[in-house]
Structure formats: structure tokens, C-alpha cells
Structure 1
Amino acid sequence: MRYAKCIIIPDDEGLHPVDKRIADHPDVDRELLHNVNLLDDESIVTIYQFSGDRTALEPILQDSSMVCKYQLSGVDDVIHAYIHVKPYDKLVGLLSMLKKFEFIFDTPLEFTRRGGLCVTMIGDVQSFQNAIPDVPDGIRLKLLKTGSYEPNTDRLYSQLTDRQQEILRTAVDMGYYSVPRAVTHDDIGTELGCTGGTVGGHLRKIESKLLSQIVP
């Protein structure tokens, strides 16, 4: 098996009108896309992970004629959303291309700071080459790297946001999890240019997210 890691970069209209409206809201951040499926009627089912204000997100979903149904869950400012949306040619074209060439996503997919979607597609070399002409208009693929695919233990780590990964790496490197503990939240905050309280809040969310998936 081979993989291609790339960034899906949509034009200014976005991948889907609902996704675009959410992306444009200042109080909601798209973090991860845990699943996306194209149904037989060309409607699309997604499972998002957002951060931010749930009361800002819900009116977008309630008011959009492109939303068939949705459900929200989560704690604090982490929001998980099941969203079933109506067909939209650009996204249908992209998902149809991936289905045609039998690609598999290594989930979750991560939204970049510039609004793209970082994906790892698993398939064979010939499929990657043949798929390029089928990329729909309004979407650009930026290839990051390719190689032989081997499942690994990065899946939990990949569920963290870029900022959470940065804070966790810094905490580990500075000795926060050493015994005895070598640094404080304030020390890490000084290194990262933020407050110790911000570091502590992020680390609690990181630990909650990772440990809840490890402990049976």
C-alpha cells in the first residue's frame, strides 16, 4: 500500500456552503473531520470536531437550507457534530473521485490554519496518477509527501489541534512529565509566549482527550 499526504485547498466558495459559513464565523474553529461519506442520493454525512462557541454554531445549522439534519455533543468548548448536508457539486465531485479510484482516508482529517484540509489517502501508485485529471474544478491538491503506508501510533496524537500538539511537545521536551517534574505551567508559557493558565487549560484538555481513549 502507498499513501499520499496532501492538502485539499478549495477556492473562495469553499467545499460546501455550510462548511464555508462555519469557516467564516469568528467564534467557531473547525479542528478535525472524523468522517465524511457520500450517500447514494449524493447527500453527504460528516462528523466534525469544532472548538469555540456552541451557541454561535447552532444557528448556522438551524438556518441553512442545505442542512438535512444535525446533532451536537461535547463538553466545554469542544463540539462534536454529526451533520447531514444536501448535495453540492464540488464536494460530490471530490468524493466521487476518491470513491472511483478506491482511495481510503486515514482519519481524522485536520483543518489547516489557512482553511485547507490535510488528508492522507491510501491507495496504489497508479490510482494516484490516474486520479489527478479527475480533481473537480475549484479544488487544488497540494502534495506534501508520499511513501509506503504502515499503520502507526500517531492516530491519537493526530486528534490534537496544531496548538495542542505544540504545547504537548514543549511540555514533554522541557520535562513537565519527568519524575520529579522539572518545569511549571509558567515556565512552559514563557517558552511559548502565553500565560501559565493557558498552558494548564490546554494540558487538561489534552490529557482528558487522550486518557479517555486509553482507559477501557
Structure 2
Amino acid sequence: MTDGCVYVFDFSLVTMRYAQLVLTLLEPTSPTEAALAAADDISREQLHHLDLLDDGTATTLYEMSGNVDRVREITAADDALIDYQISAGTDRITVYAHFEPSEELTELLEFVRTSGLILDMPIEYTDDGRVRALVIGQADTFQAALANVPGTIDVELRQLGEYEPESERLYAQLTERQQETLLAALEVGYYRTPREATQRDVADYLDRSDGTVGEHLRKIEARILTAIAPQ
């Protein structure tokens, strides 16, 4: 692992495992990525697709929020973009991009392709600009793959366990702040019937603003309801 620690796992009892990883890209993957990360009026939310094509180019599908005009300005200035499309909704901006990847990103995508692991989408951006990913794989390939992560990224292992597609994946898709907010809401009784706490009670429990907690609760509910509702 690139954080200097050696992880030893016992995979003898379980064949399918999941790992929740928080990744820090040590080098920007593209000028667009660097500019989006630095923009104060843009928040990167999720990465729904990232793939290396046979010709060496890559495609990606971003979900973000904020100033759509600033997103258009950033993407238009990136010569590495072969093609892109921007779609703006009421509270979300979606960007499809076909681009020339950096050497570091190419190395990372080649690693994912050949590691025998499955990168579960979407990938979440954390509040501090890193990315949270859920990786799934067979027990006999998991440890070897994690030990050979490219040196261009720093890896922090957050969770490790037996893969359970519904409960584990849905919870892991929440950001760290959303997970904390959900657990706090459950603890104070916000979701009990009848309801025993208010949004203000959750905010006081976490020592955060009412508006911030309200935003997290709305995103949690939207994510869970979207996941369980018929498509």
C-alpha cells in the first residue's frame, strides 16, 4: 500500500470481499480535474463512469453541483478534451468527457483492468476532495491487488468485509458526513415512529448548522429512495 502500512487479511473463510477505500490522487488526472477541484463555486459529487479505451483515450461521466457557467469555462479551456457534453438540471450538473488521460491515470486504469477487482460505481468525492471507492473481488486476488496499487495514489483502507450487495453497498455510497448524519439521526430518534427528534436535534447532536444537516438528510433520503424504488 502506498501509505507505508502493510495490511494482512485472512481471506480463508470468505470468497467474495469488499473494501471501502479512500484514495488521494498525488497528481491531477487532467487540467479539467485540477481546475474543478480548485473551484470554490463547484462541488464534485460523484464519478459515474471512468474507462480506458482501446485507443489509449478515456471516457468519464461526472456529477457535480454549483456554477454551470464555471464548469463550461473550465472544460472549454482544456486542450486534452477530445469531446464533451454538459447537461445542467435544477441541482445537478452532468459532464461527459472523452479525453487524453495523463500517464498517472492511464496507469491507474490499467491496474483496475488487470487486477481482477471490480470498481463499484459511482465513486464518491469526499468533503476534503479525495475519492471514496468500493472495490469488490475474489478472496484469492484481493490482497495481491491491494498490495500493488500504483504509487501515484495514496490509499486509506476504511472498511473490509464480506460483500453484501444491498446493505453494505448502499451505506458505503453515502459520504462520510452523510454516514455520520444518518447514524446521529437514528441515535436521537429522528426516524422513529412517532418521530422523537427534530432536524435541529440532529444538528445539535453533531454540533453542526441546521442547514448543513438538512442538506445531508435530503441527500441521504434521495440516495436511498432512488436505490430501492423500481427503475
Task: State the TM bucket, normalised to the shorter chain.
Answer: 0.7 to 0.9
In 2, Cα distance between equivalents of 1:75 and 1:162: 25
In 1, Cα distance between equivalents of 2:145 and 2:202: 45
In the other structure, the counterpart of 1:40 is 54
In 2, Cα distance between equivalents of 1:80 and 1:156: 21
- RMSD between superposed Cα atoms in Å: 2.8
The 5-angstrom pairing of residues 45-194 of structure 1 reads 45-73=59-87, 75-125=89-139, 127-128=141-142, 130-131=144-145, 135-194=149-208
Conserved? CA contact 1:10–1:140, under 8 Å: yes
How many residue pairs get aligned? The number is 215
In the other structure, the counterpart of 2:25 is 10
* Cα shift at 1:61: 1.3
* Cα shift at 1:137: 4.4
In 1, Cα distance between equivalents of 2:190 and 2:151: 48
Q: Cα distance 1:131–1:167, how it changes in 2: closer, same or farther (>3 A)?
A: closer
Taking structure 1 as the reference length, what is the TM-score of the superposition? Answer: 0.81
Conserved? CA contact 2:18–2:161, under 8 Å: yes
Conserved? CA contact 2:29–2:101, under 8 Å: no
In 2, Cα distance between equivalents of 1:4 and 1:185: 32
* Cα shift at 1:39: 0.8
* Cα shift at 1:172: 2.3
- Gaps of at least 5 residues in structure 2 are 1-15
Q: Cα distance 1:155–1:39, how it changes in 2: closer, same or farther (>3 A)?
A: same
1:171-212 CA distance string (max 9 Å, x none) = 222112222221222222222333434433443343334324
* Cα shift at 1:17: 2.9
Percent identity of the aligned residues?
A: 39
1:66-87 CA distance string (max 9 Å, x none) = 2222333454443333222212
Which AA in structure 2 matches 1:53?
A: N
Q: Cα distance 1:142–1:175, how it changes in 2: closer, same or farther (>3 A)?
A: closer
Q: Cα distance 1:129–1:78, how it changes in 2: closer, same or farther (>3 A)?
A: same
1:129-187 CA distance string (max 9 Å, x none) = 55467544432333445444332323333333333333232222211222222122222
* Cα shift at 1:51: 3.0
* Cα shift at 1:19: 1.6
Which AA in structure 1 matches 2:23?
A: I
Q: Cα distance 1:178–1:74, how it changes in 2: closer, same or farther (>3 A)?
A: farther
SS in 2 for 1:19: helix
Q: Cα distance 1:186–1:128, how it changes in 2: closer, same or farther (>3 A)?
A: closer
